[in-house]
Each structure stands twice: as structure tokens, then as C-alpha cells.
Amino acid sequence: MAENDGKWWHPLWKFAVHGGLGTAIFVVIAIPAVSLSLLVKWLQARNIDPYLIYGLKAAEYLVFAVDLILFAWFVVVTAVRAGKEL
């Protein structure tokens, strides 16, 4: 509380700013996963080798899963820090 100078809304403001920036970074990292999905659909329409399709799908899911897990971790850590500052 001492570092906030009695302004109770500072931790909430920091949480909102960090949450917004974290969401923007999540979207930036999710764009390659969406691009891979579109590429896979385009390649499937052209009857490309199924092993290539499976590999690209695995990469797509891996990129999105890691992005989602790290985003969830970031939100939890940021919320805990904001809660401690309140």
C-alpha cells in the first residue's frame, strides 16, 4: 500500500494495462496458428500429401496450445500480483 500512495485503483489500473498488452501479444502470437490453419485448408483442397497436412496441423495446434497456456499463466500471475498490491 505504501508504494501506491493510498491510491487503491493503481493495482487495478496496472492489471488492466498489463491485461490489455498481454491480450495483444496473445493475438499477435495466435496469428501464425490461424495462418497455418488457412494454409492447411488451402493445401487440402489441392490434394497435397496427407503427411504434410498432419505435420502442419500438429504445428498449428502446438503453437496455439503453447500460446494459450502461456497467456493463461500470465493472466493468473498478473491477477495474483494485483491482488497482493490491493
Angle 50-85/9-45 helices, nearest 10 degrees?
Answer: 180
What string of pLDDT tens digits covers the 86 residues of the chain? 456 566 888 888 999 999 999 999 999 999 999 999 999 999 999 999 999 999 999 999 999 999 999 999 999 999 999 889 88
Q: What is the pTM of this model?
A: 0.81
What are the backbone angles phi and psi of residue 57, rounded to the nearest 5°?
-65, -40
pLDDT of residue 1: 45
Cell 489441392, located at residue: 46
pLDDT of residue 4: 59
Cell 495446434, located at residue: 61
Which domain, by its residues, includes 15? 2-85
